[in-house]
Amino acid sequence: MLDSNGYTKEQLSHLQSPKLGANFVSPLQKAASHDAKSSMHSWLLQCYEVMVSCTSPDVSLPLPIDGGSDAGLFCVVGIHVEQLRVVYHDGTKSSTHRRSLKPGDIILSLNEYDISGYTRRDAVELCDLLTRVARSDSGVQRPRLRIRLCPPEALATGNTMLSSFLAAAFSLNSPEYALQEKIRENVYQRVVPCELILVNRHSV
At 170, which CATH number? 2.30.42.10
195, part of any domain: yes
Q: Which domain does 114 fall in, by range?
A: 30-203
21, part of any domain: no
128, part of any domain: yes
Residue 162: which residues within 8 A CB-CB, separation 6 or more? Answer: 69, 72, 73, 74, 117, 183, 187
Number of domains comprising the chain: 1
70, part of any domain: yes
Beta bridge partners of 130: none
pLDDT at res. 84: 87
Q: What are φ and ψ of residue 145, in 5° steps?
A: -115, 125
Question: pLDDT 10s digit of each residue in the chain, 204 long?
Answer: 555 555 555 555 555 544 333 333 333 333 334 444 444 447 788 999 999 998 866 678 889 999 999 999 999 999 999 888 899 998 766 554 568 999 999 999 999 999 999 999 999 999 999 998 766 555 667 889 999 999 999 999 999 999 999 999 999 988 999 999 999 999 988 776 555 555 555 554
Query: Rounded to whole angstroms, how far apart are CA atoms 27 and 171?
Result: 9
Q: Name the H helices within 63-153.
A: 120-131
18, part of any domain: no
pTM over 0.95: no
7, part of any domain: no
170, part of any domain: yes
pLDDT at res. 45: 85
102, part of any domain: yes
